[in-house]
Amino acid sequence: MNNYDKLLKDLAPRKFKKLGVIWTSLLIIIIILGIVAYIDQLIKGQVVTNMRDYSLWGIYISNFVFFVATSFVGSVAVAILRLTHKTWRTPLVRIAEIITLASIIMAGITIMIDMARPDRLLNLFIYARLQSPITWDVIIIPTYIVISFLLLYFPLIPDLAILKNHFKEKSPFLSKWYGKLSLNWTGSEAQKAIQTKSVKIVAIMIIPVGLILQTIDAWLFSTTYRVGWNSTNMGAYFISGAFVAGIGALVVVVYILRRTYHLENYITDLHFDKIGRLLTLACLTYLYFNINEYLIPAFTASVEEEIHLRSLFTGHYAPLFWAVTIGGLIIPIIVLIFKKGRKPLPMFIIGMLVVLGSWWKRYIIVTSTLLHPFLPIQGVPESWHHYFPSLHEWLITFATLAMALLIITILVRYLPIIPIQRTADEQEELKTNKTTKS
Amino acid sequence: MKVLRQNPLKYRFIILAFISVWFFNMGSQNLYAQKAKKNKVRLNVEYVKIMDGEAYFNIKASSKVKKKNTKVSNIDLSIFNVLEDEKILLGKSKTNSKGESKFVLKNTNTLQADSSYTFNFLITFKGNDSYKKAKKKISFIDANIEAKIITKDSVNYITATLFDANSNSPIIDESLTVQVQRLFNPVRIGEEFNNTDDSGSILVPIENGIPGIEGNLAIEVVLNESDDYGTVKVIVKAPIGISIVDESTFDQRTMWSPRNKTPIFLLIFPNLLIIGIWGFIIYLFINLFKLSKS
């Protein structure tokens, strides 16, 4: 077996084994439960949620912000590393691109779930006001979805052509589809030139668009003057938070796929070490913006700000706030500083902590502020002073998370998770270099 | 059938009994309607005269229904000018949903007073199915107020004189209110009671710093619900207030205006960004097409 055949054997998509089938079935069951809950929400209205006049945004919006943040991994891990010519990125980029696409699609769907009348979605375009951050959001999310798709698709084309030939005998049906999607790729110089140029453009473009997306997401909050959101730090704070969430998610998915598909020869400890360093940088940056976000208001707090901060530091939200800050940020930094902490298993555990921390962090950002309104309502029911998601909200949210994972699972099932052509080229290059040197 | 043949009269009697009961019921219903208790209507009338403006009656109709004061709406009222031996119908009016009616006295010159120069009026309600008939008399002597703004030692004052319209003699010791018109309710200036002196006059200082559109103030001097003269009001407009600067941004292009007033920079930059980004996206899709054809 020559090197190329081994590559194909290792990296070409494979049928799910028993575990894969159970995993996919589990995701589908969670999604069906969520769809049932959503249909009930459509019929009865959002009264089935625990969102009321105070907490008018809840778990749906925090989940939306989480998805938007996670999608930033495409800008960071793929585009920046590509443009800075970091060769170690090769086995990680496809996975990052898949996470990006799945997350941003689910962000778009989640925001629609939060609308009580999704049939009025078109009104957001028809009556759009360019002054409104909602309009900016409505424009940027579809844009980012398209760019994320192109970021995944362009580098994939040569691999699709390889898979077309690979599956010609094994599965003519799959081969036919790979052939269609490979756009008659022959690897000619003209095709390579167009593809290289297009990949470069999309890699450059996704960085500013990703930054705009995260910033708009932050401005959705900071333009409302609300305590806890009214901060000029918010854009940078969200970008750095997205940096953390995206890389955290990448670490988790990379670890699971590495173990499942036995890719230890391709995704090595070196890759975990490198990505661990990147995650440390992300966490340190986010910690810095967290200090900015909380320390200055703690010094200059108005009465309302003080109440808000007290609820975070020592009040109702304190256990969650400190769990998220320490568990999702400080512990990862401490562990990742050490080389042993950047080994695959510790990295996976840290990645899980970071992802969980990122999700709950957004929950804190959204709900704690809303429970301290500018204009308190007289005679408001006691229950409005508190918010915890209802069963409907949990089921629907879990379903959206399951949908994101299902998109990743399906793409992983049918696409090579490590670029075959590029890995082959790199190996060839390495061999040539060695021969030249000797 | 056998039974019917046996005693046909019995069934005729039953039908007759039914018809009798029906007629009796009809009669009893009429009796009931006649016995229905009608409520009393209470009419409250206020005479208001605005100098160099209109004079009118403010009529309010109310009734106590089930021990609750209720406004009586939609009833017809007739307004008469009463002389010693005759009543001249001035016009008719109808109460609105709030039980109120404003009857403007047109051609006040044609109104006739009695020998003591008192004007007498009668407001009547003929009654209807729900309410008994009612009437209310109102009398007043025609009075005028003249007012002007004067400035003494850099202090603005309003001086007003109340006098009998017929004899031009001053009306002494009546309380006048000075107030400045505001959007909803007027705001009082000076003391609550400003009694007219021997010359029928009052002098009230106007504090500085009262805001008005372009500095204009509409100051009212009011004789309020006097038993003899009714309500008499004069409005003096004077540019002695502080000008209100109109800070409305309604017509400007702002971040909070409707979309037809979007700020220009927001039309330019986001659209440039959108066109730029989507331009590249279209270019990339064209490249996909080129790839398939090359």
State whether B75 and B154 are in the same domain.
Answer: no
Question: For residue A15, is pLDDT > 70?
Answer: yes
User: Would you place residue A225 in the very low, low, confident or very high pLDDT band (cuts 50, 70, 90)?
Assistant: confident
- Quote the minimal CA–CA distance from B248 to chain A in Å: 18
Q: Is B132 inside any structural domain?
A: yes
pLDDT value at B10 more than 70: no
Instruction: Tell me if B277 is assigned to some domain.
Output: no
Task: Check whether A337 has a pLDDT greater than 60.
Answer: yes
Inside any domain, residue B13: no
ipTM over 0.90: yes
Q: Are residues B234 and B185 in the same domain?
A: yes
CATH number at residue B84: 2.60.40.10
The residue from B97, B121, B140 where one domain ends is: B140
Distances (CA, A) of A145 to A72, A125, A374: 12, 17, 35
Q: Are A24 and A271 in contact (CB under 8 A)?
A: no
Is pLDDT above 70 for B2? no
Rounded to the nearest integer, the mean pLDDT of chain B is 88
Identify the burial level of A433 via C-beta atoms within 10 angstroms of its C-beta, where 0-12 means exposed, 13-18 middle and 19 or more buried.
Answer: exposed
pLDDT digits (tens, 9 = 90+) for B90-117: 999 999 999 999 999 988 788 888 888 8
B13 against A82, higher pLDDT: A82
B1 pLDDT band, cuts 50/70/90, is very low
CB contacts of B258 in chain A (<8 Å) are 129
Type and span of the H or E element at B14: helix B8-35
pLDDT tens, position by position, A140-189: 999 999 999 999 999 999 999 999 999 998 899 999 999 999 999 999 99
How far is residue B225's CA from residue A272's CA, in Å, rounded to a whole number?
Answer: 91
Question: Is residue B8 a part of any domain in this protein?
Answer: no
A131–B257 CB contact, under 8 Å: yes
How do residues B157-192 score in pLDDT, each as one tens digit?
999 999 999 899 999 999 999 999 998 999 999 888
Stretch B60-64: mean pLDDT = 94
Interface test with A, best of B277, B285, B293 (most A CBs within 10 A): B277
B263 chain-A contacts, CB cut-off 8 A: 131
Give me the pLDDT at residue A108, please: 95
**Which residues of A make CB contacts under 8 Å with B?**
127-131, 136, 139, 143, 146-147, 150, 153-154, 157, 183-185, 188, 190-191, 194-195, 197-198, 201-202, 205, 209, 212
Mean pLDDT of B254-259: 91
Provide the Cα torsion A140, A146, A147, A148; round to 10°.
100
Q: Is A437 a residue whose pLDDT tops 80?
A: no
Based on the fold, state whether residues B46 and B132 are members of the same structural domain: yes
Domain boundary among B107, B140, B173: B140
Is the distance from CB of A391 to CB of A235 less than 8 angstroms? no
Last residue of a domain, one of B140, B160, B178: B140
Q: Do B117 and B136 reside in the same domain of the chain?
A: yes
pTM for the model stands at: 0.74
Q: Note down the domain range covering B67.
A: 42-140
Label residue B238 by pLDDT band (50, 70, 90).
Answer: very high
Domain count across chain B? 2
Can you tell me whether residue B68 is helix, strand or coil? strand
Regarding the domain delimited by A19-371+388-419, which CATH topology (the fold level of the hierarchy) does it fall under?
Formate dehydrogenase/DMSO reductase fold (1.20.1630)
Residue B255 lies in a domain: no
Residues B132 and B190 in one domain: no
Q: Is residue B272 part of a domain?
A: no
Q: Is A172 left (phi over 0), alpha (psi -120 to 50) or beta?
A: alpha
* Residue pLDDT, tens place only, A280-321: 999 999 999 999 999 988 888 888 889 999 999 999 999 999
Q: Which amino acid is at B113?
A: A
What distance in Å separates the CA atoms of residue A243 and residue B85, rounded to the nearest whole number? 98
pLDDT at position A373 is 79
Q: Which distant-in-sequence residues (6+ apart) come within 8 Å of B16 by Cβ?
A: none
Please check whether residues B227 and B161 belong to one and the same domain. Answer: yes
Amino acid (one-letter) located at B162: L
Indicate whether B122 and B155 sit together in one domain: no
Residue B147 lies in a domain: yes
Per-residue pLDDT, B247: 81
Q: What percent of chain A has pLDDT above 70?
A: 98
Residue A187 Cα, gap to closest chain B Cα (Å): 10
Domain ranges of chain A: 19-371+388-419
Distance CA B162, CA B214 (A): 30
What is the pLDDT at residue B4?
Answer: 45
CB under 8 A, 24+ apart: contacts of B37-40: B38/B127, B38/B129, B38/B130, B38/B131, B38/B132, B39/B63, B39/B64, B39/B65, B39/B130, B39/B131, B39/B132, B40/B64, B40/B131, B40/B132, B40/B134
Q: How many CB pairs under 8 A join A and B?
A: 64
Q: Which residues contact B12 (CB under 8 A, 6 or more apart)?
A: none
B27 in any annotated domain: no
